Chains A and B, each alone.
Chain A
Amino acid sequence: DVKVTQSSRYLVKRTGEKVFLECVQDMDHENMFWYRQDPGLGLRLIYFSYDVKMKEKGDIPEGYSVSREKKERFSLILESASTNQTSMYLCASSRGRAGVETQYFGPGTRLLVL
């Protein structure tokens, strides 16, 4: 079974803090993704990566950055957390050509920024 794990299920941070969300997959997938999920808005892509050290902006990259130093790990960084970044964050991975392959999701991190 493909497993995608995220470092925290719940996180509470203060405005202005630097926040790291980590994601690890164990299936040697080339592609990794970070989404945020908000009620009524579905999932919106923040960033994705199709190879180590490669990254592409998604639909809502503002206020976020990412790092992929190893194939299995993809980190999402909030440089200076703000209250409008309170959300559920989902990591996913897939192999091969990203658009046709199944994405496998982690359980999500629910982030609250106070």
Chain B
Amino acid sequence: AQSVTQLGSHVSVSEGALVLLRCNYSSSVPPYLFWYVQYPNQGLQLLLKYTSAATLVKGINGFEAEFKKSETSFHLTKPSAHMSDAAEYFCAVSDRNTGNQFYFGTGTSLTVIP
């Protein structure tokens, strides 16, 4: 089965600083990869996804992620944090072959310090 690891359950950055949220997957075949964001008291919404096109994927709100097969990683970045980026972020994978289930990481809570 697929699995995904998010390093760091809590990340704090200053407003205007670089945001880096880490995600590593375990699979011999590169899966489909997703980043979702959850704002307080809301459901999840898609930030971006990698499905086998360009390895650098751009998403909403200035976020992007790079698929690195050699490192089995799909880290999420944003050059300059904004207060409104404070939220919970989830990395998720699904298997290219079976494609029926998503496997979510445990989440990273991002705090932005003014």
Contact = CB atoms under 8 A, between A and B. Distances in A.
Given A99-B32, A100-B32, A45 B43 contact: no
Contacts, number: 64
Interface stretch (B12-20, B67-75, B78-86, B93-101): B93-101
A40 B9 contact: yes
A60 to B, nearest CB: 12
B96 A99 contact: yes
B90 interface: yes
Interface in A63-114: 90, 92, 97-100, 102-108
A99 B44 contact: no
A97 to B, nearest CB: 5
B101 A99 contact: yes
A105 B44 contact: yes
A24 interface: no
A11 interface: no
A97 B95 CA distance: 11
Nearest to B107: A42
A100 B32 CA distance: 6
Contacts of B41: 107-108
Nearest to A106: B43
A27 interface: no
Contact of B51 (A43, A50, A100): A100
9 contacts: A35-B104, A40-B106, A43-B44, A44-B104, A92-B44, A98-B94, A98-B101, A99-B99, A105-B44
Given A92-B44, A106-B43, 6 more contacts: A42-B105, A99-B95, A99-B101, A100-B32, A100-B94, A108-B43
